[in-house]
Amino acid sequence: MIPTNFPGQGEIARLTARMLLEIKAVHFNANNPFILASGKPSPTYIDCRKLISYPRIRSTLMDFLTVTVMRNAGFEAFDNVAGGETAGIPFSALVAERMALPMTYVRKKAKGYGRNARIEGVMSEGQRVLLVEDLTTDGGSKISFVDAIRETGATCEHTAVIFYYGIFPTTEKTLGDHGINLHYLCTWWDVLAEAREQGAFENTTLSEVEAFLKSPEAWQDARSS
């Protein structure tokens, strides 16, 4: 049974950022930017998959994620917890365990043989499904996973992630227009604030990261030539 007397959301965000920095899941590099899946540069990169190797931090963040969802969506709001392939699978299993609910997972695409299914596990028509993933940027992959869930006859109106970029203004509207509510623990802004508090990176690097967070497209365009 998950306890309900957890810190408020602001403190959860700060502690989550602190833990991500502690395990070096956060990478800032303005001089040699990372290349995102879109092909565009970014001075920031986060690897939430590292969390599975740190049991104490992993357990705490899964408690935080579970209580955040229950506070926001309801304590009896779900019948099934689904993870998105692949990063969402371990986290969905841990959340499902805490909620005492069945766990399933959603493939990015049908595997092309056997049942040719995108849903693995048992998901039934009419079930209320929570989609769990590690992070979200613009919400695009969440829509694909939710559509696969809805094709089974189940409903999916909520997705929960550990980390939300929080810098692309259309993300929550895009998800909202698709009938999806987003729940998360922290954003880049929380990580930046905690990194400054800790002095985890040089001030010049943090200033460059802030410039990117304030106007990511302009920052990328200036470095994509």
Whether 183 is in a domain gets the answer yes
Per-residue pLDDT reduced to its tens digit, 2-43: 656 789 999 999 999 999 999 999 999 988 999 876 678 899
Quote the pLDDT of residue 221: 87
* C-alpha distance from residue 109 to each of 21, 86, 137, 201, 211 (Å): 33, 12, 20, 39, 36
- Domain of residue 120 covers 9-206
Per-residue pLDDT reduced to its tens digit, 59-114: 999 999 999 999 999 999 999 999 999 999 999 999 999 999 999 999 998 876 65
Query: How many structural domains compose the chain?
Result: 1
Mean pLDDT of the chain: 93
CATH of the domain at 137: 3.40.50.2020
Q: What percent of the chain has pLDDT over 90?
A: 82
Quote the pLDDT of residue 164: 96
Whether 214 is in a domain gets the answer no
Quote the pLDDT of residue 5: 72
Q: Which residue has the tokens 């998800």?
A: 175
Quote the pLDDT of residue 140: 83
Whether 218 is in a domain gets the answer no
Where would I find the beta strands (DSSP E) of 76-165? 80-84, 103-106, 119-120, 128-136, 155-164
Whether 189 is in a domain gets the answer yes
Lowest mean pLDDT among 55-59, 65-69, 121-125, 167-171: 167-171
Whether 1 is in a domain gets the answer no
**0.85 surpassed by pTM:** yes
Quote the pLDDT of residue 138: 82
Quote the pLDDT of residue 116: 56
Whether 26 is in a domain gets the answer yes
Does residue 196 surpass a pLDDT of 80?
yes
